[in-house]
Amino acid sequence: MSERPFIPVTFAVLTVSDTRDIETDTSGKTLSERIAAAGHTLGARDIVKDDVAAIRAKVISWSNDAAIDAIITTGGTGFTGRDVTPEALEPIFEKRMDGFSALFHKISADKIGTSTIQSRATAGLLNQTFVFVLPGSPGACRDAWDGILKDQFDYRHAPCNFVEIMPRLDEHLKRGAGTVV
C-alpha cells in the first residue's frame, strides 16, 4: 500500500482575552506558526473579549463558513470570573470530544504536574466543524498542537485521524436531523 498524501486543512484561531492585541497575542501566534509549519492553512485569526456572546458569535460564524475545517480557541479556560470560553461553547457543541480533554490533561500533567487541573480545556463539533478550546498560555498551545492536533490533522497518521472522517461529519444532516446552531 502506498503512503497516503498529505491533505491540508484550514484552521481559524481565536484568542479570548481582555488584554491582548495582535502584537501581544503569543498564544495565537504560536498556534498560527504551528499550523503553517505543518502545511495547513490559517483561514482566519481574531481576538475577542472574555464575553460569552462575543466568543459564541465568532465561533458560530466560523463554523458556518465552509472554508473553515477546524477552530482553535485559546484563553478563558481557567477559573477566574472572566474565564468563560467553555461556558460559551460547550452548550452549543453537537458532540463533545471528551477524549481531547483527557489526553490534553495527561500531556499537560507530564509538563506542569497537578497544575493541569486549573484548565478546563475542552473540544467538540459545531456545524460539522472541529472546535478545540485551549488555555491561553503558549506552552499549553504547544502541548495541544504538538501532542494531539498535529497528528490528528495529518491524513497520513494511523490508525485513524480527523481528516479521514471529515467527509462524514454531516451524516446526521443527510438523515434529516438538521443543524444545532
Structural domain tally of the chain?
A: 1
Domain that holds residue 48: 10-174
In a domain? residue 181: no
Q: Does pTM surpass 0.75?
A: yes
109: CATH: 3.40.980.10
Look at residue 2 and tell me whether its pLDDT is greater than 60.
no
Looking at per-residue pLDDT, the higher value among 170 and 76 belongs to: 76
Question: Helices (DSSP H) in 13-156: which residue ranges?
Answer: 26-37, 52-63, 85-89, 98-112, 138-144, 150-152
pLDDT of the residue at 172: 62
In a domain? residue 111: yes
In a domain? residue 39: yes
